[in-house]
């Protein structure tokens, strides 16, 4: 009658798969169509001074090296929005789309991006293809911010349920 | 110490439950209030020529036969948005709401809808009622597109974790 | 070859963890910056008379007692939107952020909020920290509505997969 799964040992330090990738976001400002990878589709509102309600849709490159010019190994497709009155803070939902010789499939991630924390954990809610039925945790760390033009997040994606 | 679940055999071709349903979306154009089932709530942006950032909220009928006039067996409530500069490509998050003699409960699905692919897999992140704690994969195929007036997706929803 | 998990007994009435919390939402109306906890970032559209497409971003307090003035034990960060032509009905996606001596971590919830039902079940898609890899069901009940100024939901969050 225990609701706990029997026979499971998910040690946070022992994922069955791990991907460490960099997420690069270049917000559309009206003049950078060639380079922009995201665009504000709604908001911001006038609630506070931290872009509350600005919702950005993105199709961002994911790379294994931190430099923007390094070859993408996946696309991150989804959205984030800012959601605090008192500081910059965001919420993300997106899918990593892999289509290379190394990986084919998707990983879908969502959760709060508490930007003031050095690292913060979001949830891996599912996966397909090579990541069929995956679950886990994605740890975000801000790696670089250049005003509203560019930001880079390090995403340490640890899967604890793997079927492939 | 293996993080792999013991005793699990999730064969992609052997779901514990399967639903094959058609999703019908009629976008509100300002004059079709009676028939429209979705409406653009944000965007599109000026980034590219493929409606980047157009976010549509929907309450769409789901049917077992492809014809729009066939009786709905569920509602699909959620949203999609377009997210590429170079082609039509979308991201979906929604809940199937069943309230019939056959099924009561919900199934929540999210992921990338890579419209250029013949089929694409999204993730079933959870369920309630008859679909309590469900997980799985939803395979989309575009079944019909009539400009911006109507599109129909075939959704092959395969659950690999079932508790009912 | 059974796709059913072996050794699992998830009884809906026997969660491994349970949190009963109240969600308080004060929508920004242009003049209540000090008190507002949410703001409309997109919509509504002209489809129907029930705010179809109004998307509100929120950073709402969660309390154990129903009164708004009681001390918050978590923040709920995310969004909801209205999605029916014929009645008020919503869809939610958000993360509960706990950062107290009692709980540290997050719980991410999404699903349909069928406001006309006395109670309705949404899905817990994941968790982190104290709620590492959590899954379950969140049962909503409307507790109070004061026009568009304030509403309160009782959220009975039952986790059936727990690893901490």
**pLDDT exceeds 70 at position B3:** no
What is the C-alpha radius of gyration for chain B, rounded to an integer number of angstroms? Answer: 17
**A-B interface: how many C-beta pairs under 8 angstroms?**
130
**pLDDT exceeds 50 at position A1:** no
Q: Which residue of A has its CA nearest to C125?
A: A125
Tens-place pLDDT, residues C48-92:
999 999 999 999 999 999 999 999 999 999 999 999 999 999 999
Which residues pair with residue C110 across a beta bridge? C93, C123
Cα distance from B156 to chain A (closest Cα, Å)? 14
Q: Are B25 and B58 in contact (CB under 8 A)?
A: yes
Q: What is the pLDDT of residue C7?
A: 42
Q: Are B110 and B79 in contact (CB under 8 A)?
A: no
Q: Do C8 and B36 touch (CB under 8 A)?
A: no
pTM for this structure? 0.95
Q: What is the pLDDT of residue B6?
A: 39
Nearest CB to C3 within list B10, B30, B55: B10
User: Within 10 A of C4 (CB to CB), how many other CB atoms are there?
Assistant: 12
The span from the CA of A59 to the CA of B85, in Å, is 8
Q: Could you tell me the CA-to-CA distances from B16 to A92, B79, B164, C5 in Å, in that order?
A: 31, 27, 10, 10
Q: What is the DSSP letter of B2?
A: -
Mean pLDDT (whole number) for B38-51: 98
Tens-place pLDDT, residues C6-21:
345 578 889 999 999 9
Mean pLDDT (whole number) for A144-149: 92
Q: What is the pLDDT of residue B9?
A: 56
The span from the CA of B117 to the CA of B121, in Å, is 10
How confident is the prediction for chain C on average, in pLDDT?
93
Is residue A56 left, alpha or beta, with left meaning phi > 0 and alpha meaning psi from -120 to 50?
beta
**A contact test, residue of B43, B90, B123, B137 with most A CBs within 10 A:** B123
Residue in the structure block whose two tokens are 């979705």? B38
Nearest CA-CA partner of C60 in C41, C43, C42, C80: C80
Q: What is the pLDDT of residue C13?
A: 85
Cα distance from A86 to chain C (closest Cα, Å)? 11
Q: What is the pLDDT of residue A8?
A: 54
Tally of residues, chain B: 164
- Compare A6 and C72 and report the one with higher pLDDT: C72
**pLDDT exceeds 80 at position C98:** yes
The span from the CA of A107 to the CA of A120, in Å, is 18
Q: Do B11 and C5 touch (CB under 8 A)?
A: no
Name every residue in B having a CB less than 8 A away from some CB of C. 5, 7-11, 14-16, 28, 30, 33, 36, 39-42, 55, 57-59, 77-79, 93-95, 97, 105-106, 108, 110, 125-129, 132-133, 160-163
Start-to-end C-alpha separation, chain B: 30
Q: Are A114 and A120 in contact (CB under 8 A)?
A: yes
Nearest CB to B7 within list C7, C54, C136: C7
Tens-place pLDDT, residues A29-81:
999 999 999 999 999 999 999 999 999 999 999 999 999 999 999 999 999 99
| ipTM for the complex shown | 0.95
**pLDDT exceeds 70 at position A87:** yes
**A contact test, residue of C16, C31, C32, C39 with most A CBs within 10 A:** C39
**pLDDT exceeds 70 at position A5:** no
Q: Do C126 and A114 touch (CB under 8 A)?
A: no
Q: What is the pLDDT of residue C82?
A: 98
Percent of chain A with pLDDT over 70: 95
Nearest CB to A125 within list C8, C41, C126: C126
Nearest CA-CA partner of A76 in A122, A17, A7, A30: A122
Mean pLDDT (whole number) for B9-37: 93
Using a CB-CB cut-off of 8 Å, the residues of chain A touching B89 are 59, 77
The span from the CA of B158 to the CA of C17, in Å, is 28
Per-residue pLDDT band for A3 (boundaries 50, 70, 90) equals very low
Percent of chain B with pLDDT over 70: 95
Residue in the structure block whose two tokens are 């997969």? C161
Mean pLDDT (whole number) for B30-50: 97
**pLDDT exceeds 80 at position A2:** no
Could you give the 3-state DSSP secondary structure of residue B104?
strand
């Amino acid at each position: 009658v225990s609701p706990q799964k029997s026979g499971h040992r998910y040690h946070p330090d022992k994922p069955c798969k791990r991907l460490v990738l960099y997420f690069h976001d270049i917000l559309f400002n009206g003049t950078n169509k060639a380079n922009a990878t995201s665009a504000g589709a709604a908001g911001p509102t006038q609630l506070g001074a931290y872009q509350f309600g600005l919702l950005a849709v993105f199709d961002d490159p994911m790379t294994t090296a931190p430099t923007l010019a390094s070859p993408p190994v996946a696309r991150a497709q989804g959205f984030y929005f800012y959601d605090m009155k008192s500081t910059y803070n965001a919420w993300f939902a997106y899918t990593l789309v892999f289509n290379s010789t190394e990986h084919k499939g998707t990983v879908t991630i969502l959760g709060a991006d508490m930007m003031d924390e050095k690292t913060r954990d979001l949830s891996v809610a599912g996966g397909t293809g090579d990541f069929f039925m995956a679950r886990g945790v994605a740890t975000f760390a801000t790696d670089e911010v250049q005003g509203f033009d560019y930001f880079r997040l390090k995403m340490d994606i640890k899967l604890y349920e793997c079927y492939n």
